[in-house]
Each structure stands twice: as C-alpha cells, then as structure tokens.
Amino acid sequence: MTGGLPLSPAVFAILAGLIEQELGIHFAAEDRDLLATKISPRCIDRGFDSLLDYYYFLRYDAGAMLELERLADALVVNETYIGRELDQLSVLVGVLLPELLATRPRARIWSAACSTGEEPLTLAGLLDDRGLLSRVELIASDVSERVLNLAKEGCFSGRALRALPPAAERWLRFDGATARARRDLLDRVSFQRLNLTDPEAVRRIGKVDVVVCRNVLIYFRDSTIKSVVQSLSDALNPGGYLLVGASESLLRFGGALSCEEHGGAFFYRKDPT
Ligand SMILES: C[S@@+](CC[C@H](N)C(=O)[O-])C[C@H]1O[C@@H](n2cnc3c(N)ncnc32)[C@H](O)[C@@H]1O
C-alpha cells in the first residue's frame, strides 16, 4: 500500500501519543504521513477501515498488547547483520571484558534490542574465540516476539550475511545461501521479550556488567532516551559498560556514565567505585 489511510492531526496526536507511551517510538508532527503509511496495512489486516477505530482497538481491546508488539515490527526497522559495528564488540570482548573478568569470576552481558539475533550470535562467537564464553551469561531481548522467535532459530540468510567477518566461518554452518548458528553458541543465549521503556522490566533483568543497546535509541525522543539510559545505568554493576550504536552519542545528556574511547570505539562506563 502507498500513502495509507487518512490520518487527521487529531487522530495522529492520540495515536502517536499511545505508541510513544507504550513502545517509546517517537513520531513528530511532520511524520504524520509516514505513520499513516506504516500503520495502515496492520489496521486493514485487523479488519478496520479507519485509523481512529484502530486507535480505540489499541487503547481498549484485551488483545491490544499483542497488537502493539506487532505494530513495533511495522514501525521499526529490524535491520541488523552479523558483525555489525564489529570493532566495538571486538574491543569489548578482547580488551574490556578480560579486565572485568580479572576482578570477578563471571560476567553478564545483555544485548538489549537484539532483533533477529545477529548481535548476540556475534557476541557469542567472539567470546568463544577468546575462550571466555563459559564465564559469561548472555541475555538477549527485544520488544517484538516475532523477531525473538527468528533469533531463537538462528537461521540467517541474505542481508544478515552481507558483511561476514572471517571469524564467522567458525560460528556458522553453511548450507547454500543459508547459514545456521552453531547450536552450542545459540544455547548460551537466553532470549526474552522486554520493552526497554518499562523500567520495572529492566529492573527484573538484575545486575549486568555490559549492556549492548545499539541502533534502537534513534527511534526514541530525548526524554525517553534519558529515562531508558537511566534504567540501563541502574542495571550496570560498578565499572560496567553501556554500548550504543555509532550514530547514537549520549554526550548531550550528561548523566552518571563517562564516555571512554578504546581502540577507536566509544563506551559509556559506570564509575568503578
Ligand atoms: C535496528 S534493530 C537493532 C538490532 C541490533 N541491536 C543492531 O544494532 O544491529 C532495532 C530493534 O529495536 C527493537 N525495539 C524497538 N523498540 C523497542 C523497545 N521499546 N524495547 C525493546 N526493543 C525495541 C525493534 O524491535 C528492533 O528489533
């Protein structure tokens, strides 16, 4: 569908407000046509021909939470690939993590918007290559159940494989144009559904040493980023690191984490004391 169903400024305001409240994803007034285009196919699929009726469904129906999850798929690009922004992960696993593990027997790493699983697989592969996998608990979460189900399957093709680092030969088993994650690597990752804008859900994860939260904050407005970063900082153990995407600097927010550069990549660190 091109264009989408009509979306008046008044309905846009309540619909965009509900989406931001529930998912954190921000649409500014000038994005009205974009939102209409993205949301209309789901609205029609659910049997509605008006976005106001769809809003009432999202707001008041018992199945609204499930529909909001599905909507997240339509609103956010799930784009990811094995080895994405690899330098940052390599420095984490090759330099920063061994330093942390010198002070504690085990560490917990959380890939907090893991999409279809390429990021946690990359982490598991890098950790295995360094002989560190058995000392790390890997958690991976996303707001969308659909992408999590794909992540758990560990079957990759097409764009997911477009920038494979040479080391990925060890992490994957190839069958024509498809690659399957090694079962022992995948089994080390525990997947769960989690909405990052829900501070209570973040608290339930418990304390972690590293949060990898890349290429999702771009969908949130500044006030949402601030509160998400606050709950992620609270989840970090002293000396722990928060990793964001290359285009997602947190410097303008100040806050409790200090920005450090290691090997050309940026990391936000919680005070070790
Ligand atoms: C572009 S992907 C990023 C994947 C991976 N971190 C990377 O950098 O390649 C963004 C992911 O954020 C997820 N997402 C969007 N809003 C979210 C929220 N409120 N809580 C948790 N995940 C969310 C989407 O479902 C999507 O899978």
Which residue's alpha carbon is at the smallest distance from atom 9 of ligand 1? Answer: 80
Cβ-proximal residues to 76 (8 Å cutoff; 6+ apart), any chain: 25, 144, 216, 219
How many Å lie between the centroid of ligand 1 and the Cα of residue 149? 14
The verdict on the CB of residue 16 being under 6 Å from ligand 1 is no
Residue 244 in contact with ligand 1 by CB distance below 6 A: no
Report whether residue 195 contacts ligand 1, using a CB cutoff of 6 Å.
Answer: yes
How far apart, in Å, are the Cα atoms of 35 and each of 76, 78, 156, 169? 11, 17, 29, 40
Per-residue pLDDT reduced to its tens digit, 156-210: 999 999 999 999 999 999 999 999 999 999 999 999 999 999 999 999 999 999 9
Tell me what percent of the residues of the chain surpass a pLDDT of 70.
99
Flag whether pLDDT at 2 surpasses 80: no
pLDDT digits (tens, 9 = 90+) for 75-103: 988 899 999 999 999 999 999 999 999 99
Confidence at residue 78, expressed as pLDDT on a 0 to 100 scale: 87
The pLDDT score that the predictor gives to residue 73 is: 86
Q: What is the pLDDT of residues 227-247, one digit of tens each?
A: 999 999 999 999 999 999 999
How high is the pLDDT of residue 6? 96
196 Cβ inside 6 Å of ligand 1: yes
What local confidence, expressed as pLDDT, does residue 76 receive?
Answer: 86
Among 168, 160, 165, 86, CA closest to 125: 168
Average pLDDT over residues 11-27: 95
Is 36 touching ligand 1 by the criterion CB < 6 Å?
no
258: β partners: 269
Q: Say if ligand 1 is within 6 A of residue 115 CB.
A: yes
> What's the pTM?
0.94
Q: Which residue has the higher pLDDT, 253 or 48?
A: 48
Give the mutation target among 122, 143, 202 for probing the ligand 1 site: most ligand atoms within 8 A of CB.
143
Taking 50 as the threshold, does the pLDDT of residue 1 lie above it? no
